[in-house]
């Protein structure tokens, strides 16, 4: 499927500048996604950067500790991406699980196993996801 210039292989990410410009706190969303054990280890108020290792490329980059934990630890827990979740929520969680590395509809589908790449692409372009700062790279 192609929508304008975008296909199920086009990459998207969560634009964190958009969140800041709209006075919204992305860290709250990430904190909500953490498992109960990890919630106890972190405080929402204290922003801390840690070295995050990309599991595929081995590249190290500085990342908010909350997002690092959500992607490296909690993202693997079965309840993190639960099949009963609404699709838009599952897609948002897929970005958190990937440490907000750009992902295509096909890659998101491989992660969440919900809907189809075409359906996910449509969601990525929906007003609801746009309001969550989901942007094509």
Asked if residue 85 binds Zn ion (CB under 5 A), the reply is: no
Q: Which region, judged by CB under 5 A, interacts with Zn ion, from 9-17, 36-44, 88-96, 122-130? A: 36-44
How far is the C-alpha of 101 from the C-alpha of 14, rounded, in Å? 9
Binding part of the chain for Zn ion, among 24-32, 38-46, 78-86, 87-95 by CB under 5 A, reads 38-46
By CB under 5 A, residue 33 contacts Zn ion: no
Give least dist CB 99 to Zn ion, A: 14
Order of all β-strands in the sheet with 11-14: 103-104, 11-14, 134-136
Q: Report if residue 72 touches Zn ion, rule: CB under 5 A.
A: no
The stretch near Zn ion (CB under 5 A) out of 47-55, 72-80, 89-97, 128-136 is 72-80
By CB under 5 A, tell whether 73 contacts Zn ion. yes
- At CB < 8 A and 24+ separation, what contacts does 39-46 make? 41/69, 42/66, 42/69
Tokens, residue 78: 């079965």
CA separation (Å) from 95 to 34, 66, 125? 14, 13, 15
Q: Which of 63, 74, 105, 134 binds Zn ion (CB under 5 A)?
A: 74
Measured over all CA atoms, what is the biggest interatomic distance in the chain, rounded to whole angstroms? 45
Which region among 8-16, 68-76, 103-111, 114-122 touches Zn ion (by CB under 5 A)?
68-76
- Which residue lies nearer to Zn ion by CB, 24 or 89? 89
* CA-closest candidate to residue 120, choices 134, 133, 131: 134
Using CB under 5 A, list all residues that contact Zn ion: 35, 38, 73-74
């Amino acid at each position: 499927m192609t929508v304008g210039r975008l296909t199920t292989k086009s990459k998207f990410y969560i634009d964190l500048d958009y969140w800041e410009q709209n006075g919204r706190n992305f860290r709250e969303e990430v904190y909500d996604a953490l498992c109960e054990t990890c919630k106890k280890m972190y405080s929402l108020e204290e922003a801390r950067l840690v070295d995050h290792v990309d599991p595929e490329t081995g590249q190290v980059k500085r990342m908010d500790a909350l997002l690092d934990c959500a992607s490296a630890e909690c993202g693997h827990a079965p309840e993190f991406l639960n099949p009963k979740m609404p699709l838009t929520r599952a897609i948002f969680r897929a970005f958190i699980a990937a440490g907000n590395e750009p992902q295509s509809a096909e890659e998101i589908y491989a992660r969440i196993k919900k809907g189809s790449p075409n359906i996910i692409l449509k969601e990525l372009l929906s007003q609801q996801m746009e309001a969550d700062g989901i942007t094509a790279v």
